Chain A
Amino acid sequence: NAGVTQTPKFRILKIGQSMTLQCTQDMNHNYMYWYRQDPGMGLKLIYYSVGAGITDKGEVPNGYNVSRSTTEDFPLRLELAAPSQTSVYFCASSYLGGDQSYNEQFFGPGTRLTVL
């Protein structure tokens, strides 16, 4: 299993440009998440999905959009990039079944995005 994969690893955008960060997991996890991590700060949840076709906002959704057409893929779209979106973006997935007492989230390697 490759686990959670993300592309690209690095990207530099100009203000106002758009891009899609790709995330794929091969563990048949139902839950997927997008986080951003800024220096000295904890991970902040941008969007999450509890299954194909279902997405919801997290703590910091403004400026982003997501879709979940399949169990495996959860792309994050940035429209009109701004310098405040310079960050490291992590995708994660987890499986929550009947016993929802445990939630280990598995993370992808991250995408380092700079907006200039």
Chain B
Amino acid sequence: RKEVEQDPGPFNVPEGATVAFNCTYSNSASQSFFWYRQDCRKEPKLLMSVYSSGNEDGRFTAQLNRASQYISLLIRDSKLSDSATYLCVVNPLGNDYKLSFGAGTTVTVRA
């Protein structure tokens, strides 16, 4: 079983729509959770960390469900510029220098 699994998508949504997707992780002892964004042929960049209580950053909301071992990302009022691949990233062992990356969920926002 992969450490981090994501629905690859693509999620094709119109501008202004809300889109949400999850990722699951296998190690219940995982400590830290992140969403990274990767534009086509570019490097990953941190979008947001995911905290136990859930957190919001503008139009983006991240949730963590430890009981079911998944994290989610919701994007409200989608913009064309939100088109990207979103990588779910987990620190599986509590060692902060090693991260496990999901393969990514592709979101395409259309005009």
Asked if chains A and B come from one complex, the reply is: yes
Interface residues of A (CB under 8 A from B): 31, 33, 35, 40-43, 45, 48, 50, 58, 90, 94, 96, 100-105, 107-110
A96 CA / B98 CA spacing, docked (Å): 12
Dominant SS among interface residues on chain A: loop
- Specify which chain A residues have a CB less than 8 angstroms from the CB of B99 in the assembled complex: 45, 103, 105
| Interface residue stretch chosen among B12-20, B40-48, B58-66 | B40-48
A31 CA / B98 CA spacing, docked (Å): 10
Interface residues of B (CB under 8 A from A): 2, 4, 8, 32, 34, 41-46, 49, 87, 91, 96-104
Q: A90-B43, A103-B91, A107-B44 are in contact. Are A96 and B101 (CB under 8 A)?
A: no
Closest to B31 in A: A101
Q: A42-B4, A101-B96, A103-B32 are in contact. Are A108 and B101 (CB under 8 A)?
A: no
Q: Are A103 and B96 in contact (CB under 8 A)?
A: yes
